[in-house]
Chains A and B, each alone.
Chain A
Amino acid sequence: AQSVSQHNHHVILSEAASLELGCNYSYGGTVNLFWYVQYPGQHLQLLLKYFSGDPLVKGIKGFEAEFIKSKFSFNLRKPSVQWSDTAEYFCAVIIIQGAQKLVFGQGTRLTINP
């Protein structure tokens, strides 16, 4: 069955540190990839998405992610984090063929210390 793995469950950084959150998925076919963010007390919102084309995609608030097909990965990065980036981050994958079900990773809690 299709699955999404986020290896870091809780990441703690200081402001201005660089961030990379890992995401791997288990399906070998064509996929669309997403990163969602959930700020404390707020709804899930889309950070960025990859459908096709340039594997390096840029999202809101200075985030970017790189799709590496050979590694089945879609890692999220930000060169310099801010306290306001404290949130939970979810990677999600949807298979282009088949059930069209959006499958989420279990999330990574990011805490930024001022």
Chain B
Amino acid sequence: ETGVTQTPRHLVMGMTNKKSLKCEQHLGHNAMYWYKQSAKKPLELMFVYSLEERVENNSVPSRFSPECPNSSHLFLHLHTLQPEDSALYLCASSLERSYNEQFFGPGTRLTVL
């Protein structure tokens, strides 16, 4: 148990659906991250939140919308996704937006039909 939980673990959605991914960390960290893990590609950083403020958006399409209501929770709202968005979405947290290690959740396996 890493202290970072993600729900749901699996999600299948159509291109017209709206869904949300949830991440929660119990480690007292104040930086949180969304990554996309696709087959045969490096992990891609999507968003970074530090002290509940978005500090980085890595050219992610607007159909992905993050939300960080407090330092323990992070959401990724999804709407009108494309089949190529199917991937494993990983949440991570760290103690401040520092150079130290990040702790990862188990991920949400997303399939877009």
Contact = CB atoms under 8 A, between A and B. Distances in A.
B42 A106 contact: yes
Contact of B105 (A43, A94, A106): A43
Interface residues of B, number: 22
A51 B100 CA distance: 9
Interface residues of A, number: 24
Contact of A104 (B43, B98, B99, B100): B43
A100 B99 contact: yes
The 4 A-B residue pairs with the shortest CB-CB distance in the complex, in nearest-first order: A44-B104, A104-B43, A43-B106, A106-B42
Given A94-B99, A100-B98, A100-B99, A45 B104 contact: yes
A104 B56 CA distance: 17
A34 B99 CA distance: 11
Contact of A106 (B40, B48, B106, B107): B40
Given A32-B99, A100-B97, A100-B99, A43 B42 contact: no
Given A100-B97, A104-B43, A105-B42, A42 B102 contact: no
Interface in B17-32: none
A17 interface: no
A88 to B, nearest CB: 10
B48 to A, nearest CB: 8
A81 interface: no
A23 to B, nearest CB: 12
B81 interface: no
A16 interface: no
Given A51-B99, A94-B99, A96-B99, A42 B42 contact: no
Contacts of B48: 101
Nearest to A44: B104
B38 to A, nearest CB: 10
Interface string A43-74: 11110010100000000000000000000000
